[in-house]
Amino acid sequence: MNLEVLVNMGALYGPLTVVDGEWWRLLSAMFLHGGMTHLLVNMFSLYLIGRGVELYFNTMGYLSIYLFSGLLGGLASLYMHPASVGIGASGAIFGIFGALAGFFLAHREKIEVHTKAFMKEFAIIIGINLVIGFSIPSVDVSAHIGGLLVGVLGGYVIAKNPKWVWGYNLVMILLMIGFMQYLPSQYAQTLF
């Protein structure tokens, strides 16, 4: 798809998102994809793992992890790639993968042997996805890693106590505000 069209539709683009203050692009970019293959891969990944993860966290916890993983994954992308165009829900989806890892970390003393084996395989799958991402220039691995880390944190915190979802939300909002305050000065040094 044409990059100019994607930017006009709301893709992440540092000069507009950060410099011009169009922060809404952090959200809109999560709903844009570079074509049918990109959309189908993301939706298939979400289908495979999403519903199961939602059962662990309830709807509010799941939505919080998904949303903040996508938003902060977008901020990681803006930090690492100041002048690139960013689209897709991969940061949010990696956040859901991370949430599952966080859940198992929070409950590791209660986990059965076969589940531990599954988690090792799951970690390998995440690693393979990241390696593949590094080998394809158009894949924004920084958004994937940012989303993954936010998801691990959310999964761990909310798995320990589902009522802590509000504290997690507050910390994520403060983290976003911090990034949004820092990035313009970083962009001034990088772009100009």
- Tokens coding 147: 């989303």
Determine whether 81 is an active site residue.
no
Q: Which residues contact 38 (CB under 8 A, 6 or more apart)?
A: 87, 88
Of the candidates 64, 69, 77, 90, the residue annotated as catalytic is 90
Secondary structure of residue 112 in the 3-state scheme: coil
Q: Identify the helix (H) or strand (E) that includes residue 45.
A: helix 36-80
φ/ψ (deg, to 5) at 38 = -60, -45
Determine whether 144 is an active site residue.
yes
Q: Which residues contact 54 (CB under 8 A, 6 or more apart)?
A: 62
The set of catalytic residues is 90, 144
